[in-house]
Amino acid sequence: MIATVTLNPAVDRTIVVDGLTVGGLNRVRSSRQEGGGKGINVSRALAAMGERSQAMGLFGGAPGQLIVDGLPELVQARPTWLPTGETRTNIKIVDEESGQTTECNEAGPAIAAEVLALLQESVLGELRPRDYLVLAGSLPPGVPEDIYQRLMTAAKERDVCCVLDASGPSLAAGLQAQPDVIKPNQAEAAALLNQPLDGRDAQRRAVRRLLDQGPRIVVLSLGGNGALLGRGQELVWTKLSVKTVRSTVGCGDTMVAAVVYGLQRGWDLLQIGRFAAAAAGGAATLDGTAFPCLEVIQELEREVVSEVWS
């Protein structure tokens, strides 16, 4: 079983404009909204690949109900409902001319300690040996920065494979629980290690340093420059060049889903990296927060370039 946890889910509203004018009038070409938040996105991406998962997290009000009701059939909702407050709404503005996406993300509702305790009880009560637990995304107000560390420590006692996609203090604290997989992007890893990651040598050193802190696998997302995966002494770089980028929202979450998909099947690091690059690249070609199906990913995988780095 794969369980995803989203402590700060969101309704993602994506607005498409021909050219974003800051401080001026913008005509909207199209708009759409979907349930989002990093863990929710991982579950949705897994469903597009044909994989079942459980989506757990903190949900509130009509926006929270919209997310739960909109989950794909292969995603089983296990919500912990907030007694007060509503799930946040995030605005994504896609500029068709530049290909850039501007994000405006709300902080989310404040979480009381007793609600967080219910969430932890729900998550740990579902886990069984050899399950996968994906902890992803920002923390809402009131949630301590070591929450991911605490959840993973308890999960690993149950022989659960833990995947962490976080940033800042919650990533730093989470590393102390030695997650099986982490997936920082370039900026997150640079901030954590306090070093720039420009160029192959710096990226190689960064992955080595992160591996030394305990994760079994490090997936360093490099945006349009691909991803660098490390496990033990292995380093694998993969990239899919995309002609037309429709939206970058959810690409990193699709990569996490693809890594879990490959780990479940016992793939080697190169195969996981190629599949993950194809999946993330496929997501970039879709509007809004959308995810490619397995057949599309397998087709795109033929176009992935890869290298084994020493």
Secondary structure (H, E, C), 124-151: HHHCCCCCEEEEECCCCCCCCCCHHHHH
Cα distance between residue 183 and residue 167, in whole Å: 9
Q: Whole-angstrom Cα distance, residue 9 to residue 245?
A: 24
Residue 177 pLDDT: 97
In angstroms, rounded to a whole number, what is the distance separating the alpha carbons of residues 242 and 251?
A: 12
Q: Mean pLDDT for the chain?
A: 94
Give the span between the Cα atoms of 25 and 246, in whole angstroms. 22
DSSP one-letter code for 80 = E
How many whole angstroms separate alpha carbon 279 and alpha carbon 269? 15
Q: How far is CA 303 from CA 107, 254, 287, 292, in A?
A: 38, 18, 21, 15
Q: For residue range 196-217, what is the model confidence (pLDDT) as tens digits?
A: 999 999 999 999 999 999 999 9
Residue 80 is which amino acid?
A: T
Do the beta carbons of residue 49 and residue 294 sit within 8 Å? yes
Tell me: the pLDDT tens digits for 140-175? 998 999 999 999 999 999 999 999 999 999 999 999
Q: Residue 128's pLDDT is what? A: 96
Give the number of domains in the chain. 1
Amino acid 32: pLDDT = 86
* pLDDT computed for residue 96 by the predictor: 85
The predicted model scores a pTM of 0.92
Q: How many angstroms separate the CA atoms of 148 and 258, rounded?
A: 21
pLDDT band of 86, cuts 50, 70, 90: very high
Residue 79 is given by DSSP the state E
CB 239 within 8 A of CB 255: no
What positions carry a catalytic annotation? 253
A 10 A CB-CB count for 20 gives 17
Check which CATH number belongs to the domain holding 25 and give it.
3.40.1190.20
For residues 42-66, average pLDDT: 97
pLDDT tens-digit map of 100-129 = 889 898 988 999 999 999 999 999 999 999
Which of the residue ranges 37-51, 100-114, 253-267, 292-306 would you say has the lowest mean pLDDT?
Answer: 100-114
% of the chain at pLDDT higher than 70: 100
> What's the pLDDT at 36?
86
pLDDT at 9 over 80: yes
Q: Is the dihedral of CA 70, 284, 231, 203 positive or negative?
A: negative
Instruction: Copy the structure tokens of residue 298.
Output: 């397998």
pLDDT value of residue 167 = 95
> Which residues constitute the domain of residue 293?
2-308
Distances (CA, A) of 62 to 4, 6, 13, 65, 71: 21, 17, 15, 5, 15
Please tell me the predicted confidence (pLDDT) of residue 34: 84
pLDDT bin (cut points 50, 70, 90) of residue 243 is: confident
